[in-house]
C-alpha cells in the first residue's frame, strides 16, 4: 500500500450510476468499502442503499450537485468508476477526470451481457487511464492489485479556473 494511502491522505472519487439505474448498488457498497483502505472516498453516498433511483436530492438542486461533484473531482487523487451500468453522469464525470489529468480506473463486468462504450474502453492508455474487466468475486483483489501497482500521486487540484 502506498504511504499516502496508509496515512489516509489519498482522495478517491468513486463513480457509479445513480439516475441511470441502481441495480449495482450493493456492488458499489462493496467497492466503496474496499476503497476506504486506500484513502478518503469523497463520494461514498453513491453506494448508499437509501439513495433513490431518481437521484440525489439537495437543497440547491441539480446545480448544487454538479458544483459539489466537480469540486470533489478536482480534489481527488484518483477516480474509480464502475462502468457496467450505462450512465450519462458517470460518462460526464470521466470526461472531466480525463480533462483534469486524473488517474482513472474503470471497472467493467463483461458477464453482464453489456458491451462497454468504445469511448471508455478506447480511452485506456495503459498508464493514467486503466479499464479492467472483472467479476464481482474479484473486485477486492482487483482494487488491491490496482492500488499496489498504480499508487495515486498526491497532487494539487488544477489551478486553471476554466477547467
**Which pTM was predicted?**
0.88
Q: For 47-58, write each residue's pLDDT tens digit.
A: 999 887 665 666
pLDDT at 121: 97
List the chain pLDDT tens, one digit each, 163 residues: 444 444 547 999 999 999 999 999 999 999 999 999 999 999 999 999 988 766 566 667 889 999 999 999 999 999 999 999 999 999 999 999 999 999 999 999 999 999 999 999 999 998 999 999 999 999 999 999 999 999 998 754 444 444 4
Q: Where are the domains of the chain?
A: 13-149
Residue 142 CA to residue 87 CA, distance in Å, equals: 22
Per-residue confidence (pLDDT) for residue 56, from 0 to 100: 63
Q: What is the pLDDT of residue 59?
A: 64
Q: Answer positive or negative: Cα dihedral of 131, 97, 123, 92.
A: positive
Q: Which residues contact 78 (CB under 8 A, 6 or more apart)?
A: 10, 11, 12, 13, 38, 102, 103, 104, 105, 152
| Residue 1, C-alpha cell as written in the block | 500500500
Domain 13-149 has CATH 3.40.50.970: no
What pLDDT does 57 receive? 66
Q: What share of the chain is helix, strand, coil (3-state, %, to 5)?
A: 45, 15, 45
Pick out the residues of the known binding site for substrate.
13-19, 28, 93, 117-119
**Residue ranges of the binding site:** 13-19, 28, 93, 117-119
pLDDT score at 154: 72
Please name which of 55, 54, 112, 104 lies closest in space to residue 85, comparing C-alpha atoms: 112
Residues near 91 by beta carbon (within 8 Å), at least 6 away in sequence: 117, 119, 120
Rounded-to-integer distance, Cα 74 and Cα 110, Å: 30
Q: How far is CA 123 from CA 15, 19, 55, in A?
A: 16, 24, 27
pLDDT, residue 79, reads: 98
Amino acid at each position: 500500500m502506498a504511504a499516502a494511502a496508509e496515512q489516509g491522505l489519498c482522495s478517491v472519487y468513486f463513480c457509479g450510476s445513480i439516475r441511470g439505474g441502481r441495480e449495482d448498488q450493493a456492488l458499489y457498497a462493496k467497492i466503496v468499502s474496499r476503497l476506504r483502505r486506500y484513502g478518503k472516498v469523497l463520494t461514498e453516498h453513491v453506494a448508499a442503499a437509501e439513495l433513490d433511483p431518481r437521484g440525489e436530492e439537495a437543497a440547491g438542486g441539480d446545480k448544487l450537485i454538479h458544483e459539489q461533484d466537480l469540486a470533489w473531482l478536482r480534489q481527488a487523487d484518483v477516480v474509480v468508476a464502475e462502468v457496467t451500468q450505462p450512465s450519462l453522469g458517470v460518462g460526464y464525470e470521466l470526461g472531466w477526470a480525463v480533462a483534469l489529468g486524473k488517474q482513472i480506473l474503470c471497472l467493467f463486468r463483461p458477464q453482464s451481457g453489456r458491451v462497454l462504450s468504445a469511448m471508455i474502453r478506447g480511452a485506456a492508455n495503459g498508464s493514467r487511464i486503466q479499464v479492467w474487466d472483472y467479476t464481482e468475486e474479484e473486485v477486492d483483489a482487483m482494487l488491491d492489485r490496482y492500488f499496489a501497482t498504480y499508487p495515486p500521486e498526491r497532487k494539487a487540484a488544477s489551478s486553471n479556473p476554466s477547467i
